[in-house]
Amino acid sequence: MASSSSNIDLSGSVYCVVTGASQGIGRAIAIEVSKLLGPNSLLILLARNKQELSKTASLCETNNVKVVYESIDLTKATKTEMSDVLEKPLEGRKVVDFDIGLIFHNVGSLGNLSVETQRMENVEELRTYYDLNVFNVITLNTQFLKLFEEVEDRMIIVNITSLCAIKPMSGMAYYCSGKAAREMYFRVLAEEKKNIRVLNYSPGPVETSMIDYVLDEAVNDNLKDVFHTFKNQGTLLKPEVTAKKCMKVLLAGKFSPGEHVDYFDDE
């Protein structure tokens, strides 16, 4: 990793958002970051499944942190709804009251694995995929940028990316292209806004429901073989393991603006 200017200290009052927080990596990130936040911090958890969000929230409760969770479908949420879900939990507090504004963009999906790349032609399906994984991630991030605009230098943005953003994987054209577009957006933002800390963190192969989805839905034999190997050899990472590594990378602050940092990269 390239060296940045300083470590990141989350022990003060932090405004923190985690998307896709109802399960898997998102839940693990929420739990790990909640342990680091200082007094008068606010943790906002977003996902579609409110019942599972409630479980995540209960695992994040500390004396320092007020935990708020909200069901929102980022496939079709409007920018007004996104703005509201970020602003309402403030309950009269101002962003200048927080030492740091932090957001983890974890929400994401794999897309249609049952259609071969050369047969992709369902534009409506592609548009829905990109709405969730790219367009509305950008829109939510824009609302976050607007919210903290007057204290821009306090913002930290973490995009949960993938090796697939920089390396093609047979049978995953939806996922690879979406991750690549999303990561490049954050890299451009980091290039333009040097005073905002931006990290693209790739969590490695993680034991989540997505693994079974690939094995059930993929039509590409090479892709299925790769994921069978991951599962059978026990090389999948636990969500809490990669979440801890994400926190370690973040706190160390050694990443360059918008850098892609993988779980397996040397520290």
| Number of domains present in the structure of the chain | 1
For residues 97 and 12, the answer to whether their CB atoms sit within 8 Å is no
Q: How far is the C-alpha of 37 from the C-alpha of 19, rounded, in Å?
A: 17
Give this prediction's pTM: 0.95
| 11-33 per-position pLDDT tens digit | 999 999 999 999 999 999 999 99
Model confidence at 262, in pLDDT bands (50, 70, 90)? very high
20 assigned to some structural domain: yes
Query: Kind and range of the H or E element at 248?
Result: helix 239-252
The amino acid at 55: K
Model confidence at 228, in pLDDT bands (50, 70, 90)? confident
7 assigned to some structural domain: no
Model confidence at 3, in pLDDT bands (50, 70, 90)? very low
| 197-227 per-position pLDDT tens digit | 999 999 999 998 888 888 888 899 888 888 8
Phi, psi of 77 (to 5 degrees): -65, 140
Name the 3-class secondary structure at 193. coil
For residues 146 and 87, the answer to whether their CB atoms sit within 8 Å is no
For residues 197 and 254, the answer to whether their CB atoms sit within 8 Å is no
Give me the domain span that covers residue 74: 14-205+240-262
Rounded alpha-carbon distances, angstroms, from residue 46 to 58, 112, 227, 246: 14, 24, 28, 19
What's the CATH code of the domain at 160?
3.40.50.720
Model confidence at 1, in pLDDT bands (50, 70, 90)? low
256 assigned to some structural domain: yes
pLDDT at residue 169 greater than cutoff 90: yes
Rg (CA), the chain: 18
For residues 60 and 53, the answer to whether their CB atoms sit within 8 Å is no
Cα torsion 52, 239, 103, 66: sign: positive
How many residues belong to the chain?
267
219 assigned to some structural domain: no
213 assigned to some structural domain: no
Give the pLDDT of residue 163: 96
pLDDT at residue 35 greater than cutoff 50: yes
181 assigned to some structural domain: yes
Q: What percent of the chain has pLDDT over 90?
A: 87
For residues 33 and 16, the answer to whether their CB atoms sit within 8 Å is yes
